[in-house]
Structure 1
């Protein structure tokens, strides 16, 4: 203010100019931004639902309401990830208010004031009220607490009154949604013919022999796929390939890594801390005051880093050890010995086989598959390799099934936890373990232990100096200013051995991360700007502890699907079609036994058997679950061979050895219930998808946030 007063004394004109400049600086983003009125874009519509446009001001108002409630309850400000989640909640609320309400109104569904009263303080209390007004210690619900709260509501701050109003609104919406879904669920009907079909599929058994030539037996490089073939396939399967607005980029990163001077300064500091930790009267208090990374004083193997697991084996009570470096953090430890804990930890790996749905037939198919994999492992197959190729748990599958250390405190589902913690030695558990997630094949890699290690820990992270940051930015800026196209970009990376070229394909407009780059919204928004054309090089972006320079390599348009949008998928499909034609042509006209035909075909042809399988649970050894092959086989007569045909993953000739038809029964109630329950379990998801599709939702939030 003193500076502004001084300027005012010198020149009124100067004050006016500077004041205008300050105002434009402070609000320029709102007035002159890409989505502003003065910036040449009067489109303030954040989306459209069932023909109704959502204005950015209305949307932001709802987000602000959610934020106020959240911050009032949590007592802190939101981070960017939490704010993004609230925007999703606000958007979904608009979908309910507009798209769902249309359906409710057509059916005359509503929640009356009397019904709301009954939900809040009557005889049929809502689960949300039960949760909000239950004693956290005993878990008992106190209706009087609700009544007293409502009596005093008008004396509470306006924010709390507004929160209760929104809470009651959400109760009405939950109950209306439940009525709607229950109405549809109760309308689910399974005719007797469908129940009978399910019974026959589960209980008709067959013994099969088959010749199978998988697509992978033909080397990909021997098959040439042209763009014309891809275009023809895409044209014939347009409904299978829905377009989306995406962008593809290549990029390089310039990490802001601490320099040697930064590391040396911290190393000297932590050695001083080590001396203090050794003599401190309260090592836990000293560690808590000086660490950058809070760590519990008592640790189990389940909570230790890999480096500490090895180091602790050499620790002696009372000793100070370190520094140990993990990434950009130095650690020192003061060891205080061990004690037993009521909670145990163990380490295990698993292979998860999940049923396709909740029907008995699907569960049986999953069990058969899991038993087959377990048998392979018992016979000597590599557990890690099978986990990588067969497990339905993607997180652990890429680590060979490894789940790391965990405790017996409910971290894992009960059947899994009981199986692991009942094992007294490492090794394969010789039976399947079933949980709500599916069938688990488990290998215990470290049996249970309840030992706790008392370790006072100080961790100090190396922070790069400003000079280090400036140098990283200088290198990124120099790179960005010397390349003007994708070709120059890639050529510059080749010449600079310190740079690594990375790519990210089909990035959606709403993306917040790009590969391992967190908080990458600015890069995404740049890629989707109208003036960012393919081969455009970006400015320097700062994300976390690195600078990023990108080049746009491709676009996809939701309204104009091109081959390049799905090139890899289309190429695989067309290549397999060509392989199928080549394999079929080679097998066509072959006679004799399946072994004779396989011998004439040569390398790649497999002859296998399948015993006592059904249509519902049929699993072929090498081909897996192939409904086309099973359908062909069950349509044959005993001793009959099919012609050459294409299955899911290869070419077949099926032979039915014999078939035992399902016994005649009069009551199909059990199977009718199975089919009905399977449909009902998917009802909520299917209803949601149908309403959203019918509403023709256009979500343009990514252009604003």
Structure 2
């Protein structure tokens, strides 16, 4: 994205310099209203049906949580796809855990739930919601009173019950995790074995017969060879979830040279008028499609613009441009130059004159001015700034941090003008002032101003480089023509037009995103209705027209042998065949020297091999060779059997194994704790994954979504 677009987005997010989050909005979030009137089953978990309405409500709740945490973040198709998968997986895991919890006798009763909410040690989420912002204290009686008030309203009662249900789910999971983690114990013999592996070194001589010694035509592979190999190694090639693969050609919907010239000409016409304008703000508002605040910019902020040096050196009141910034054609009017602090640390107390969030307080202009004057009087009398901020400030983004903010110069244009002008231009370190903005009255203290930085005040007029109807129709006609041609031979049409077909695999039946394209649920649905070789109609995906061919189908079971999979499968089998040929060539030879001489190779030496590491210096990752080097039944100074490794067949001779004594007495308790920690932290997930593999999970979301 162009730098101007970044600046505009950043300023939009920082408008007013305050982010207000209302506590009541967190409690009373719009929960469970999705799903419409559908009641279709979207899946089964061990025979238990999952209803679309329940699923939609959970997805909607997750979307609301995301919006609450980051109000400016867009929930696009890609994000929604991720949320849907997360919700589905959580629903599956939850039901599996419920079954296990019932069998294990894990319960969360009403008394325990009450204790989680209003007990002496409440759940952290409850404590966060009901801690008094003025005192910083959680009072169980106050919390209980507020909860009773919430329950009196039918709307908020349902939302609170949903919140309680979430607490119960969380407690069930915590108990299950604790139970699983508590069942893990590492016996001493395992600690001893691990310690011995760390402290034992080996030195070997070896000969590597690389697989490249055998020409490919001497290790031909048939489909029967591949099938036998796959049957013998089912775990490597078993496909648990069906998928589809496509090849696609895309036609980017982008402006033509004529479109560019038209936009450029529009700005050329504005150039003289912009130069003589007496009110630049009004001119920008009337003529710019992207409303970028008139602000001071440093060279670093604009470094992505090709002509940044011209912007930083052009005379004041001159016009720079038109120039292209990646998404817009721009005119820039140089208004002023001065040095400004590269950053500011300040603190403030805001008395709001308008509502800044759901349920937040605000005052009339007169009452707000009286209130801020009282704050200043208390400060002069010796009151602590941070304490007054907690009690009096209506800026939820800073009140719990003593009212403090750190602003880089890049954020100045995003602050309320009066606020930004005081902390960056008018005021100096140590100064304070009451400032009136559209949000209310701020009492501001400048704690620190950074080093001065050369800055240029610039007014930008931007015109988006739009695509004309003619250009879009031309691109659409090109894509349609290719689709018609490709219907009688996709690969032939690609070659004839000198296009590039891009592969995209791993599309499961619920996929929303196509690798290399983005969100395109319709294209995925087409892939599941098509046969291999079928060619699609033209699909619009983002800023592209797309024509695709279904190139492969992967059904559950062993991977198929086709044009896509055969090269990989053949590589496995070819390696086995070459290993057998190399072993036969070395048969009967009793020394490393004889084996090396027979294939014109060298005898190498590897020192300080460690069982806990599979890497061999000057060789690479060869776990089988390292394992053989420490095999207790393999005697030193004897020739090993042939070892089929990653890149070749190895023969080794262990020259010696050395045990390094412990540098200090072992602490078994610490060793056990370290080893158990890694296992316990992931144990519950491993159990749940195991339950899921054994469960009968039927996912039919693709029939609806």
**What is aligned with 2:20?**
none
Q: Is the contact between residue 256 and residue 469 of structure 1 (CA under 8 Å) also seen in structure 2? A: yes
Distance change >3 Å, CA 581–CA 270, structure 1 → 2: farther
Comparing 562-571 with 109-118, which one deviates more in the overlay?
Answer: 562-571
Query: Does residue 535 in structure 1 map to residue 533 in structure 2?
Result: yes
Report the equivalent of 1:554. Answer: 552
Corresponding residue of 1:242:
238
Alignment of 1:399-478 (within 5 A): 456=458, 459-478=462-481
Q: What are the superposed Cα offsets for residues 536-583 of structure 1, whole Å, 9 maximum, x if unpaired?
A: 221211111221111222211114642237434312211222232333
How far off is 1:173 after superposition? 0.6
Shift of 1:598: 3.5
Contact 2:243 2:506 in 1 (8 A): yes
SS at structure 2 position matched to 1:676:
helix
TM-score by length of 2: 0.68
Aligned to 1:101: 98
Change (3 A) 1:582 1:317: farther
Partner of 1:506: 506
CA distance in 2, matches of 1:270, 1:221: 66
Kept after mapping to 2: 8 A contact 1:608/1:621? no
For the pair 1:201 / 2:197, whether they are aligned, the reply is: yes
Distance 1:72 1:676, change over 3 A: closer
| Cα 1:610–1:86 shift into 2, 3 Å | same
Deviation at 1:241, TM superposition (A): 1.7
SS at match of 1:152: helix
CA apart distance, 1:200: 0.6
Once the two structures are TM-superposed, the CA of residue 202 in structure 1 deviates from its matched residue by 0.7
For 1:137 and 1:572, how far apart are their aligned partners in 2?
68
Deviation at 1:179, TM superposition (A): 0.5
Give the match's secondary structure for 1:46. Answer: strand
Report the CA distance between 1:93 and its aligned residue: 4.5
- Determine the C-alpha separation between the residues in 1 that align with 2:224 and 2:77: 46
Judge conservation of contact 1:51–1:695 (CA < 8 Å) in 2.
no
Q: How do 1:293-308 residues align onto structure 2 when only pairs under 5 Å count?
A: 306=304, 308=306
**1:647 partnered with 2:650:** no
Q: Is the 8 A contact 2:615 2:623 kept in 1?
A: no
Residues 150 and 254 (structure 1 numbering): CA distance in 2 closer, same or farther, change over 3 Å? same
Q: How does 1:119-158 map to 2 (within 5 A)?
A: 119-133=116-130, 146-156=143-153, 158=154
Greater gyration radius: 2
Q: 1:159 to 1:273 in 2, by over 3 A?
A: farther
1:325 deviates by: 3.1
Displacement of 1:637 in angstroms is: 4.1
> How far off is 1:682 after superposition?
2.0
Contact 1:588 1:644 in 2 (8 A): no
Matched, 1:228 2:224: yes
State how far apart, in whole Å, the 2-side matches of 1:331 and 1:582 are.
69
Counting only pairs closer than 5 Å after superposition, residues 212-611 of structure 1 correspond to structure 2 as: 212-215=208-211, 223-243=219-239, 244-271=241-268, 290=288, 292=290, 306=304, 308=306, 311=309, 315-316=313-314, 318=316, 321-332=320-331, 336=337, 341=342, 456=458, 459-485=462-488, 488-497=489-498, 499-529=499-529, 532-559=530-557, 561-564=559-562, 566-590=565-589, 592=591, 594=593, 597-602=595-600, 605=601, 607-611=603-607
User: After superposition, what is the alpha-carbon deviation per residue over 1:276-307, rounded to whole angstroms, capped at 9, x for unaligned?
Assistant: 77667787897688353869957778866655
What value does the CA root-mean-square deviation take over the aligned residues? 4.0
Deviation at 1:198, TM superposition (A): 0.6
Tell me: CA distance 1:284–1:670, structure 2 relative to 1, closer, same or farther (3 Å): farther
- Equivalent position of 1:381 in the other structure: none
The alpha-carbon deviation at position 196 of structure 1 amounts to 1.1
Cα gap change, 1:676 to 1:154, in 2 (>3 Å): closer
Q: Is the 8 A contact 1:519 1:543 kept in 2?
A: yes
**In structure 2, what is the equivalent of residue 684 of structure 1?**
684
- 1:162 is aligned, of 158, 161, 183, to 158
- Asked whether the 8 Å contact 2:42–2:704 carries over to 1, the reply is yes
Aligned to 1:168, what secondary structure does the other structure show? helix
1:71-110 to 2 correspondences below 5 Å: 79-110=76-107
Q: Secondary structure at the match of 2:172?
A: helix
Distance apart, 1:176 and its partner CA: 0.8
Task: Name the structure 2 match of 1:363.
Answer: none
Distance 1:68 1:159 in 2: 16
**CA–CA distance in structure 1, aligned partners of residues 238 and 669 of structure 2:** 40
From 159, 168, 173, the equivalent of 2:169 is 173
TM-score by length of 1: 0.68
Check conservation: 2:242, 2:556, Cα contact below 8 A. Answer: yes
- Residue 701 of structure 1 is matched in structure 2 by 701
2:624–2:643 CA contact under 8 A, matched in 1? no
Deviation digits for residues 94-151 of structure 1, max 9, x if unmatched?
3244221101111111222222222223222222234444688998767676445314
For the residue of structure 1 that corresponds to 2:263, the secondary structure is: helix
Question: In structure 1, what is the equivalent of residue 356 of structure 2?
Answer: none
SS of the equivalent of 2:691 reads helix
**Cα separation, 2, equivalents of 1:512 and 1:185:** 36
Q: Alignment partner of 2:247: what SS?
A: strand
Q: CA deviation at 1:187?
A: 0.3
CA distance in 1, matches of 2:152, 2:648: 73
- Quick one: distance in 2 between partners of 1:340 and 1:232? 72
Residues 293 and 460 in structure 1, CA contact (< 8 A), matched pair in contact too:
no
**Alpha-carbon deviation of 1:75?**
7.6
Structure 2: unaligned runs, 5 residues or longer:
1-36, 345-407, 411-450
SS in 2 for 1:682: helix
**8 Å contact kept, 1:300–1:450:** no
Query: For residues 329 and 268 of structure 1, what CA distance do their matches in structure 2 show?
Result: 13
Paired residue for 2:611, among 615, 618, 621? 615
